[in-house]
Structure 1
Amino acid sequence: MQDISGKRVAILATNGFEQSELEVPRDKLRAAGAEVHVISLKPGEITGWDGSDWGRAVPVDRALSDVSARDYDALVLPGGQINPDLLRVEPVALEFIRAFWTGKKVIAAICHAPWLLIEAGIISGRKVTSYASIKTDVLNAGGLWQDAEVVTDQGLVTSRKPGDLDAFCAKIAEEITEGRHERRAA
């Protein structure tokens, strides 16, 4: 994975995130040199979902009310069914995501997290992938769904499932290294 020393990455999540989809990117991006913050709606801890039951708690580094997209180079959105479903009804979370998009910064979403891209209004006309069960949601929102391990479109990185995490993390680092991405009209 490319060295991304000096870069700052936000991971936006709440309770019910897929355990590996938060922890693996957090750890791999830190190992590549980035400063990574887990951001949530409230301070404290959030609890993941691991397999068929609740997983481990993860400390929240910053509350969403205390940060801005200007503070970061990239945003990672872990999936799981619960996490993105809870976040997509939170206007402050959607505004945070949109601010990365309008700032031409990297946004990476895995599994069910493209639901957040749909709600933020940034998926239409973009090549993306997702967990298979939300393919129709992506298509109905105007996304150009592809059955691939990782799909990238102008700094938007999407991946299907936890088994694709190595490629997903490597692509995030590559996109961060490239810098800001021009957003052409879809």
Structure 2
Amino acid sequence: MAEKKILLVVTPQGFNDSQYEVCRRLFERRGHKVSVASLTGAARGEAGLAIPVDMAIKDVKSYDYDAMVFLGGEGARLLFDDDSARKLAKDAKYKVIAASDKAVVLLSLADALDDKKVTGPSDSISWILKGKAQYTGEPIRIDDKLITVQEPAMSEQMANAVLAALEK
């Protein structure tokens, strides 16, 4: 398979460190180019992992990427009210797109879940339903090119589902 471009979207603070590491490792191991976008020029995970950021979310051109992965963690809430993050999520809805735990709410707020079957954390069900999605409660849900997971423990499965969707 030819090299694909995958964007990892993280928050400046509070993204899930292990999820970032698992996804990046699996994507790069398959020969794909991984870039990182956030609200600021650097990001720090919940457990303290500091990572460089390649670009600001507001500068991302969705057409430059084959897939976008919105990583969860408590910090995902920082993206909920950010217009550029919502725009990116909405623009990405026709690509391979994945979101984990709290990041699923961003997709809902961006109207990127219309009529899709999704999962996410149980404390976010009302937000997901407001986004006109059908909540399944499964650990992972794949609906065409949309992959959602309830929690970071499903990171490897999410990354593999992104890779499978890219191969179609």
Q: Give the TM-score normalised by structure 2.
A: 0.92
Aligned partner of 2:121 in structure 1 is 131
Note if contact 2:67-2:166 (Cα within 8 Å) is conserved in structure 1. Answer: yes
- In structure 1, give the amino acid aligned to 2:10: A
Note if contact 2:5-2:64 (Cα within 8 Å) is conserved in structure 1. Answer: yes
**1:164-179 to 2 correspondences below 5 Å:** 164-178=154-168
- In structure 2, give the amino acid aligned to 1:63: A
- 1:116 correspondence with 2:106: yes
- 1:147 correspondence with 2:147: no
Deviation at 1:61, TM superposition (A): 1.7
- In structure 2, give the amino acid aligned to 1:85: R
Unaligned ranges ≥5, structure 1: 179-186
% of aligned pairs identical?
Answer: 29
- In structure 1, give the amino acid aligned to 2:112: I
Q: Give the TM-score normalised by structure 1.
A: 0.83
Aligned partner of 2:67 in structure 1 is 74
Q: Distance in 2 between matches of 1:67 and 1:121?
A: 19
1:132-177: CA deviation from partner (whole Å, max 9, x where unpaired): 2212321243221112221111211001112212211110101111
Unaligned ranges ≥5, structure 2: none
Note if contact 2:86-2:109 (Cα within 8 Å) is conserved in structure 1. Answer: yes
After TM superposition, what 4+ stretches of structure 1 lie above 3 angstroms from structure 2? none
Q: Distance in 1 between matches of 2:4 and 2:102?
A: 26
Q: Name the structure with the higher helix share.
A: 2
Aligned partner of 1:95 in structure 2 is 87
Note if contact 2:16-2:72 (Cα within 8 Å) is conserved in structure 1. Answer: yes
Residue-pair matches, total? 167
Aligned partner of 1:162 in structure 2 is 152
Note if contact 2:4-2:65 (Cα within 8 Å) is conserved in structure 1. Answer: yes
- 1:36 correspondence with 2:34: yes
